[in-house]
Structure 1
Amino acid sequence: MVQTRGQSTPSRSRSRKKSTSSLKSAAAQADTPNGSATKAAIENTTSNPDTPTPKPRGRKSTKKVADDSASNASTTSTPAKKTVQRKTSTRSIKKKDTMLNPKTTEYEFGGPVGAAGVSILTPFFAYLLYFACNEKVGCSILPRYPEVIAHQFVAGVKESFLDWQAWAVYFGWYAFCIVAWAVLPGQQVQGTELRTGKKLEYKINAFATFLAAAISSAVIIFTQGAKAFDDLLYGHWPGLITASITMAVVQSIYVYVESFKADKLLAKGGNTGNHLFDWFIGRELNPRIGVFDIKTFNELRPGMILWYLLDISCACHQFVSLNGRITDSMALVVLFHTWYIVDALFNESSILTQMDITTDGFGFMLSVGDLTWVPFVYGLQARYLAFHPKDLGILATVAILALNFTGYYIFRTANGEKNDFRNGSNKKNLQFMTTSSGRKLLTSGWWGRSRHPNYFGDWIMAFSWSLPTGFETPITYFYFAFFVVLLVHRQLRDDAACQHKYGKDWTKYTKLVPSRIIPYVY
C-alpha cells in the first residue's frame, strides 16, 4: 500500500506548477512514511535565513526542483520500497499458486474417516486373505475365523516383520525395477496437457523390464530347480506383504512432505488441508525425482510384474508337490494373468490418459494399491491352486478360455477405439458428438453401447480367472467382487468429473449413451 501511494505523489503529477507549489508538493510527499529526508531538506531550506531562496526560472527550473525532491525521496526510501516489492511479489506468488492449486472443497472416499478406514483395512485384508486361506487352515473362513485371528493372524503378521529374507528379496526386486527403468532402452512419450499448459515426458520400457524379469526367473528355475523359485517367493508370502506395505507407507510420506515445496502442481482432490486425507488421496499430482516419475513407475512395474513372478512361484510349488506336473486349472490361471499383465505392459503409454495418472494424486491409496494389493490379492487364484490343485477337463477348459477371450476382446477393442480416436484416427468411421468446448465424444462402436465398455470386458475376464478354482471357497472370487465395486466407484467418479467438465453437453451425451458399463443393463 505504501508503494501505491508513493507512485501518485503530487511531485510527479503536478510538476509543471510554480516553484512554491512544487515545494509544497514535495513537502506533502515528505509526510509520507518514506519521505523524512526530503522533508528535512525542505525545512532546512525555508527556515535558514542564510540560505538563499531559489528564484523561479520558469517551468524548467520548477520541474527541476520538483524532480530533485522526488529523486531524493526515492533514493532515501529504496530499502523500504524493496521490502514492499518483496511483500507484493510474495502476495502475487501466493495468488498465482492459489489459482493453479485451488483449495479442495469436497471429500471423496468418506473424507478423513473413510481415508483412515481404507488405510487400515487394505493391509488388514491383504494379510487376512493369506492367513484365512492356506495349507494349515484351508479356505473356509467362518468355521475357523476365531482360530485364524487368535493363532495365525497376529502371530503370523508379527513373524513376517522378522522375515529378513523376504525384506531382502522385496527391496532387491524394487531396486532391480529402478535399474531396469534407468538402463534399458525406451521411447520418450508425452503425457496429457497439464493445467500449467505443459506436458511431461515419460520413459516407456515397462515391457522390457518384464522380459528381463521373466528371463531371470527362468534362469533360476532351470539352473536351480522349481523348488528354489518356490522357496524364494511363495515360501515368504507374509513377509513380502509386510515389506511391500512398508515401501508404500515410506513412499506416501515422502511424496506428501515433498508436495509442500514451491512450484508443485497439486491434485485437485488432494488439497483439502487435512493431513490424513491428503496423505491418503495424494496431494501432488506428478511427484518426481528429476525425470523419474514415481506414480507411473509404481503403476505398472514393481507390483504388476511381481504379480507374474508370484504366479510362477505358485506354479512351481504345485509342480513340486505333484511330482513334476501342473494342473490345467493352474495353467489357465497363469495364462490369463500373464496375458493381462503383458497386454498392460506392452501398451504402457495408454495409462497416460487414465484417471490414476491425469487426475489422482499419488498418495497411500495408489501406493499400497500398486505395491501390495495388485500382486498379493490379484493372484489369489494361483496361490489357492498351489496347495489345492484341481483338474478341469477339456470341456471346462475350453469354455473358460472362450469366456476369458470374449472379455479380452471387448476390453482391448474398446480401448483401441478410444486411443485411436484420441490420436486423431477414426478407422471405423465412428460417430461422435462435439461439445461446446470443441471436444468430441464417441457415440457409436463400443462407446455407443456403454460409457465404460472396457470395464465390462474387465469384469468378464475377472470372473473367468476365478472359475478354474471351482466353487469350494468364496475367497478366490474376492478379486472379482472387489473389481465390481472398484469399477462402479470409478465410473461414478469419472461421470461426475465429466458432468463438471462438459455440463449440459454431458447430459446430452448420457441420453445418447444411457448405459454406464454393461450395455443395455447398467
Structure 2
Amino acid sequence: GFHMKGLPIPSEGMKCLDYNCNGLPAWWITLLVVAYYEYYYDGISSLSQEYGQLMTVMVIFGNLVSVGIYLSGFILNKTHRMSGNHIYDFFMGSWLNPRIGNFDIKVWAEVRVSWFTLFLLTLSCWLQDFKVKGYDIWQVHPGLHVLLIAHFLYTNACVKGEECIVTTWDIFYEKWGWMLIFWNFAGVPIVYTWNSYYILYHQPQLPFGCGMGVIGMLLVTYYIWDTSNSQKNRFRMQLRGTFKERPWYVFPQLPWGTLEKPVAIRTDHGNRLLISGWYGFSGTRKIHYLMDILFALEWGLAAGFESILPYFYLAFFTTFIAHRGLRDNERCAKKYGKDWDRYCALVPYVLIPGLW
C-alpha cells in the first residue's frame, strides 16, 4: 500500500499517525471476486431482490458498532472532548482514532464499507435489469448506465486518492460516533442507492439520448471534481513534504491534477492558501463541493421526472454542503483573520461562481 502520515493530533501529543493506504488493491480484488461470483454463481444480481433485508442488517449493524465503539472508548481510556451528555457524546463519539494495532477502523469504514457497498448494490440493480431484458445491454435503462458509471468513478476516485482522506476533517477532528458510523454502515449504502432501486422497479421514462447527455455532464463534473480535489490535497502534501507521484496503475491520473507552480498567499498562521488552479480560475473556494452537488443532480436526472424521490438526495446533500461551506468559512475566518479577508478578495465566492 501507499504509506502516509496524518496530521499532528493534539490528543496524541502531536503525534502523526501512520496509514497504509491500500484501498486500491482492495478495490480491484473486490471487483475480481465479485466478477467470479456473478459469473459462476449468479449471485451479485440477487442483492437487488433483497433490499429490505439488507437495509435491516445495515441499520442494526450500524447501531451495534456505534454502541461498541462508544463503550470501548471508556473501557480503553480513549475518550476525547467529552461533553458529559451521553446522548450528545454517543452521537459525536467518544474515540477519535479507533485502531486495532496499526489498522485504522475509521479510515477503513470511510470508503471500504460505505462506497464499496453502494457500488455493489448499484451493480446488482444494473445486472438484474440486464438479465430481465434478455442480456441486451442496449435495453438496460439508460439511468442505470448513468448510476453505474457515476458510482464506479466516485468509488474508484476515493480509493486511488485514499492518502488524501487521512488529512480530512472527518479523520483528523471528528470523533467516530454514531453520526459517522451509522452513515458509513447504513446511510450511504441505503440513501445513495435509492435511485438505482427506483429505476430498476419503476422504469421511469428516459430517452437513450438523454441518458447519454447526462453521462456527458457527469464526465465533465467528474473531471473538475477529481482535479480540483487533487490540486488542493497535493498542494498541501507538497508543503508538508509528503507528496509522491503515484504509479501508472493508479488511474485515472487526470491532466491538471497537480499544479506545477501553485500560487498561494502566506498567512501569519504559517499556512498557505491556494489561489491558483480551479480555485483561482473559478474564483470559488468550494468548487469541489459544487461538483458534489452537480453529481447529486445528475443522479436525480438519471431517474427522469416522474417522481420527486430521486431528488431527495440532491435536496439533502445541497443543504448539507451549504452548511459545511458556511461552517468552513466561519472557521477559517476565525483562524486566519485579516489573511482570510485577503484570500476572499482573491477567491470571492463560497460555492457558486458569480452568485455566492
Equivalent of residue 210 in structure 1, options 27, 34, 42: 27
The offset of 1:332, in angstroms, is: 1.9
SS at match of 2:329: helix
Aligned pairs for 1:190-269 (under 5 A) are 190-195=5-10, 196-225=13-42, 228-231=43-46, 233-260=47-74, 264=78, 266=80
The offset of 1:322, in angstroms, is: 2.3
State the partner residue of 2:321. 487
State the partner residue of 1:441. 273
Aligned pairs for 1:61-72 (under 5 A) are none
CA–CA separation in structure 2 for the residues paired with 1:259 and 1:456:
36
CA offset digits 1:251-275 (Å, max 9, x no partner): 2222222223566362xxx521111
CA–CA separation in structure 1 for the residues paired with 2:284 and 2:41:
50
CA–CA separation in structure 1 for the residues paired with 2:79 and 2:119:
34
CA–CA separation in structure 2 for the residues paired with 1:458 and 1:209:
25
Equivalent of residue 416 in structure 1, options 206, 216, 230: 230
Distance 1:309 1:519, change over 3 A: same
Moved more, 271-280 or 442-451: 442-451
The offset of 1:509, in angstroms, is: 2.4
The offset of 1:391, in angstroms, is: 6.2
Q: Is the 8 A contact 1:405 1:461 kept in 2?
A: no
State the partner residue of 2:161. 347
Distance 1:262 1:465, change over 3 A: closer
SS at match of 1:337: helix
Q: Which of these two proteins has the greater Rg computed from alpha carbons?
A: 1
Question: Could you state the TM-score of these two structures normalised by the residue count of structure 1?
Answer: 0.60
Corresponding position: 1:289 with 2:289: no
Corresponding position: 1:310 with 2:142: no
Aligned pairs for 1:372-521 (under 5 A) are 372-390=186-204, 392-424=206-238, 427-448=259-280, 449-521=283-355
Q: Is the 8 A contact 2:21 2:163 kept in 1?
A: yes
SS at match of 1:203: strand
Q: Unaligned 5+ residue runs, structure 2?
A: 240-257
State the partner residue of 2:253. none
State the partner residue of 1:333. 147
Return the letter of the residue paired with 1:446. Answer: W
CA–CA separation in structure 2 for the residues paired with 1:262 and 1:236:
38
Corresponding position: 1:273 with 2:84: yes
CA–CA separation in structure 2 for the residues paired with 1:493 and 1:358:
16
Question: Could you state the TM-score of these two structures normalised by the residue count of structure 2?
Answer: 0.87
CA offset digits 1:388-407 (Å, max 9, x no partner): 23564453233212211221
- Which structure's relative contact order is higher, taking Cα pairs within 8 Å and 6+ residues apart? 2
SS at match of 2:261: coil
The offset of 1:429, in angstroms, is: 2.8
Aligned pairs for 1:85-124 (under 5 A) are none
State the partner residue of 2:255. none
The offset of 1:441, in angstroms, is: 0.5
Return the letter of the residue paired with 2:126. Answer: A
Q: Is the 8 A contact 2:206 2:303 kept in 1?
A: no
Q: Unaligned 5+ residue runs, structure 1?
A: 1-185
Return the letter of the residue paired with 1:462. Answer: A
CA–CA separation in structure 2 for the residues paired with 1:412 and 1:492:
22
Return the letter of the residue paired with 1:214. Answer: L
State the partner residue of 1:49. none
CA–CA separation in structure 2 for the residues paired with 1:416 and 1:309:
25
Distance 1:376 1:351, change over 3 A: same
Aligned residues: 331
CA–CA separation in structure 1 for the residues paired with 2:274 and 2:326:
19
Return the letter of the residue paired with 1:218. Answer: A
Return the letter of the residue paired with 1:305. Answer: F
State the partner residue of 2:248. none
CA–CA separation in structure 2 for the residues paired with 1:265 and 1:259:
5
Distance 1:430 1:204, change over 3 A: closer
State the partner residue of 1:189. 4
The offset of 1:427, in angstroms, is: 3.3
CA offset digits 1:9-68 (Å, max 9, x no partner): xxxxxxxxxxxxxxxxxxxxxxxxxxxxxxxxxxxxxxxxxxxxxxxxxxxxxxxxxxxx
Aligned pairs for 1:134-213 (under 5 A) are 186-195=1-10, 196-213=13-30
Percent pairwise identity: 31
The offset of 1:207, in angstroms, is: 2.0
CA–CA separation in structure 2 for the residues paired with 1:188 and 1:263:
28
